[in-house]
């Protein structure tokens, strides 16, 4: 069972979008997939509800309540954990203790990099992370590669304590798809193929982590 934690202290960085897309990808591959929603806003759980009638449905689990791990079916093959905004690394230690990889979305702006820095520093001090038992990967989210701002931010990310494992381009399609309980992986048109390709580095990184 591969367990992936999607976390950041910064709100609005795309945690739920990344969590739901990872869940959709694995479910579409025929894997029994669970999306554990640790965000009290419940965005990921509502996404699962909208997807419930599809063949590639994803099982939602309320991870804000104690004992949530016991509610994960024994035959689950992939578990994606979506955390809330404003959390500190110490506040999600219970999740970190039982995952195979941690994904941290970062928006490509100076404000977001500065806001995320303290969270990453705290995360680096978590014993399991510090000992190298669980890898942490950064995902540059909603990037505009043709702009100087994005290029400068990507360069600045090289100084962060964890590696940049993927760069996802900005697209309104993400908002539309998640609102429907779907993902870009549910479609096969030429328009979405380039955005799907953006995910391949992250997916390969997670495969190694598992």
Grouping H, G, I as helix, E, B as strand and the rest as coil, residue 126 is coil
Name, in order, each residue with C-beta under 8 angstroms of 157's C-beta and a sequence gap of 6 or more. Answer: 106, 108, 113, 138, 140, 164
Q: What is the pLDDT of residue 73?
A: 94
pTM of the model: 0.94
With vertex at residue 35, the alpha carbon angle to CA 51 and CA 86, rounded to the nearest 5 degrees, is 115
3-state DSSP helix/strand/coil % of the chain, to nearest 5: 45, 20, 35
Tens-digit pLDDT profile for residues 8-43: 988 888 899 999 999 999 999 999 999 999 988 989
Contact 7, 104 (CB under 8 A): yes
Average pLDDT of the chain? 91
List the CATH number of the domain containing 38. 3.40.50.300
Across the beta sheet with 136-143, the strand order is 59-62, 33-38, 78-83, 2-6, 101-106, 136-143, 164-169
pLDDT confidence tier of residue 90, bands split at 50, 70 and 90:
confident
> 107 is in which domain, residue-wise?
2-209
Looking at the structure of the chain, the number of domains it has is 1
pLDDT confidence tier of residue 68, bands split at 50, 70 and 90:
confident
Q: What is the pLDDT of residue 162?
A: 95
Alpha-carbon distance of 77 to 125, in angstroms, equals: 29
Residue 56: phi and psi, rounded to 5, are -100, 45
Tens-digit pLDDT profile for residues 175-195: 888 889 999 999 988 888 888
- Report residue 171 CA to chain centroid gap: 17
Q: What is the pLDDT of residue 10?
A: 83
Tens-digit pLDDT profile for residues 103-142: 999 999 888 999 899 999 999 999 999 999 999 999 999 9
Distances (CA, A) of 21 to 50, 58, 108, 201: 14, 11, 20, 14
**Position with higher pLDDT, 33 vs 173:** 33
Residue 140: phi and psi, rounded to 5, are -75, 115
Distances (CA, A) of 33 to 53, 55, 161, 162: 15, 12, 30, 27
């Amino acid at each position: 069972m591969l367990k992936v934690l999607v976390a950041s202290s910064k709100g609005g960085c795309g945690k739920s979008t990344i969590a739901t897309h990872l869940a959709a990808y694995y479910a579409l591959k025929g894997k029994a997939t669970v999306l554990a929603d640790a965000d009290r806003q419940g965005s990921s759980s509502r996404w699962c509800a909208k997807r419930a009638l599809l063949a590639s449905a994803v099982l939602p689990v309320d991870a804000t309540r104690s004992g949530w791990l016991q509610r994960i079916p024994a035959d689950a093959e992939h578990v994606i954990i979506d955390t809330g905004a404003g959390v500190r690394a110490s506040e999600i230690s219970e999740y970190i203790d039982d995952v195979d990889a941690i994904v941290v979305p970062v928006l490509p702006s100076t404000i977001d990099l500065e806001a995320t820095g303290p969270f990453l520093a705290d995360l680096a001090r978590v014993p399991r992370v510090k000992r190298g038992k669980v890898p942490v990967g950064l995902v540059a989210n909603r990037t505009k590669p043709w702009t100087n701002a994005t290029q400068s931010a990507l360069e600045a990310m090289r100084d962060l304590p964890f590696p940049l494992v993927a760069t996802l381009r900005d697209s309104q399609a993400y908002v539309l798809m998640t609102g429907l309980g779907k993902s870009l992986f549910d479609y096969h048109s030429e328009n979405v193929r380039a955005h799907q390709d953006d995910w391949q580095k992250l997916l390969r990184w997670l495969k190694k982590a598992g």
